[in-house]
């Protein structure tokens, strides 16, 4: 009998569950969810993030089952207080107030990707579920998994207005398939109304990591690339400035001549070719391709890949000139470029197209080597 089935029986017999030696009270939702959610028997050694953690029950249960680290986030401060009140003695679960739409790799504890994400009873309260799923996928390892539980409905007819996202089971699977390449069979609990059921399933990634190294000539890109290539011969490295046949003058400075090719067409050929060949980590080094070429480059990166940008020797105000514009939901072009923290090399904003931005300065090769390796998660 699987562990979650044993807990279900424990609930049925005693009306409560003990997690890490502490009796959890008669929480109807948790009790009900345990009856149909395929919660694993073991999280041994994993980094787990519990998104929309509510009372912290799933976080504590994952920790009890061997998770090496559990980070729990919720946008509601009241829920975080309840979760803290439920803390078993000795638990090391870390609770953070954060909107799921703002999940992004950056400063600790988000400096490394996670093995598993728990997205329990969250999506039906979300106005932009596609964005949330994209954010969740971006903080997972290339083979990371996400356990999703949400309301679904049997038909496409509108349901109760309390729920912002009202998918059928098939629509839910189609949403997850935009970022995950393997979906498990769904488990269900019949709804309390004729329209709704609750659905749970696992979604797994088989993606990779894309790292874009950019900046002016002579700022250290080649040194970093050379070091990473030595340490990780399985990484696929693309150097368009050289591979496109760009000429240099006697001092080694690149000339403008491109031998009839442009960056966009080069990326269109080389990046998909690397993915099709089975590359799981791709590094592209480029001096300063045009804004259009940068946008085009991102189009060739699979949706379920993590995207990291390393900017060499550019101060924040200089970086604003370099960074692409982004379209707001109302269609207006605006800049969302508050990406740097003066006390940290990591910048992040929910509007920029990368999951992580690293700012590189002089003599940063050892530090950046380690940071990129941790972000790619190969060490």
| Length of the chain as a residue count | 379
User: Taking a C-beta distance cutoff of 8 angstroms, is the pair 372, 308 a contact?
Assistant: yes
Mean pLDDT of the chain: 78
pLDDT confidence bin for 68, thresholds 50/70/90 = very high
For 211-266, the pLDDT digits (tens) are: 988 877 777 888 888 899 999 999 999 987 666 655 555 555 555 444 445 677 77
Q: What is the pLDDT of residue 349?
A: 40
The answer on pLDDT for 142 being more than 80 is: yes
- In eight-state DSSP terms, residue 185 is P
- In eight-state DSSP terms, residue 252 is S
Element (H, E) at 120: strand 114-120
Closest CA to 212 of 133, 319, 334, 310: 310
Domain positions in the chain are 3-204, 209-376
209-376: what fold? Answer: Rossmann fold (3.40.50)
Strand-pairing partners, residue 19, are 22
Q: What token pair was written down for 195?
A: 């329209």
Number of other residues whose CB lies within 10 A of the CB of residue 241: 18
What phi, psi does 217 have (nearest 5°)?
A: -65, 145
In this structure, of 14-28, 38-52, 128-142, the range with the lowest mean pLDDT score is: 14-28
Q: What is the pLDDT of residue 18?
A: 61
Reported pTM: 0.78
The answer on pLDDT for 133 being more than 60 is: yes
Higher pLDDT, 122 or 299: 122
CATH number of 3-204: 3.40.50.150
Q: What is the DSSP string of 312-359?
A: ES--HHHHHHHSPPEE-TTS-EE------BTTBSEE--TTSS-SEEEE
């Amino acid at each position: 009998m699987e562990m979650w089935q044993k807990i279900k029986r424990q609930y049925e017999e005693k009306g409560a569950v003990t997690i890490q030696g502490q009796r959890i009270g008669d929480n109807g939702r948790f009790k009900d969810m345990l009856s149909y959610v395929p919660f694993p028997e073991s999280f041994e050694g994993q980094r787990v993030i519990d998104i929309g953690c509510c009372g912290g029950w799933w976080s504590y249960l994952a920790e009890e089952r061997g998770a090496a680290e559990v980070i729990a986030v919720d946008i509601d401060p009241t829920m975080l207080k309840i979760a803290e009140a439920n803390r078993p003695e000795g638990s090391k679960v870390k609770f953070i107030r954060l909107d799921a739409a703002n999940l992004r790799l950056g400063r600790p504890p988000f400096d490394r990707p996670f093995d598993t994400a728990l997205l329990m009873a969250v999506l039906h309260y979300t106005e932009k579920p596609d964005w949330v799923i994209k954010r969740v996928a971006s903080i997972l390892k290339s083979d990371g998994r996400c356990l999703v539980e949400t309301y679904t409905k049997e038909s496409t007819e509108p349901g109760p207005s309390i729920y912002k996202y009202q998918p059928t089971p098939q629509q839910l699977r189609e949403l997850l398939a935009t970022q995950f390449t393997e979906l498990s069979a769904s488990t269900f609990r019949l709804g309390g109304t004729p329209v709704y059921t609750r659905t749970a399933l696992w979604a797994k990634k088989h993606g990779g990591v894309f790292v874009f190294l950019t900046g002016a000539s002579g700022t250290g890109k080649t040194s970093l690339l050379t070091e990473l290539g030595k340490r990780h011969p399985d990484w696929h490295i693309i150097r368009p400035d050289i591979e496109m046949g760009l000429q240099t003058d006697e001092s080694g400075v690149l000339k403008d001549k491109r031998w009839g090719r442009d960056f966009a067409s080069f990326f269109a050929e080389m990046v998909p070719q690397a993915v099709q060949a089975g590359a799981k980590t791709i590094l592209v080094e480029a001096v300063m391709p045009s804004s259009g070429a940068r946008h085009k480059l991102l189009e060739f990166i699979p949706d379920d890949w993590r995207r990291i940008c390393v900017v060499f020797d550019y101060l924040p105000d200089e970086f604003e000139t370099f960074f692409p514009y982004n379209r707001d939901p109302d269609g207006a072009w605006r800049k969302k470029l508050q990406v740097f923290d003066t006390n940290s090399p990591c910048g992040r904003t929910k509007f920029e197209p990368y999951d992580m931005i690293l700012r590189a300065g002089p003599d940063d090769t050892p530090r950046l080597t380690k940071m990129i390796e941790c972000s790619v998660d190969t060490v």
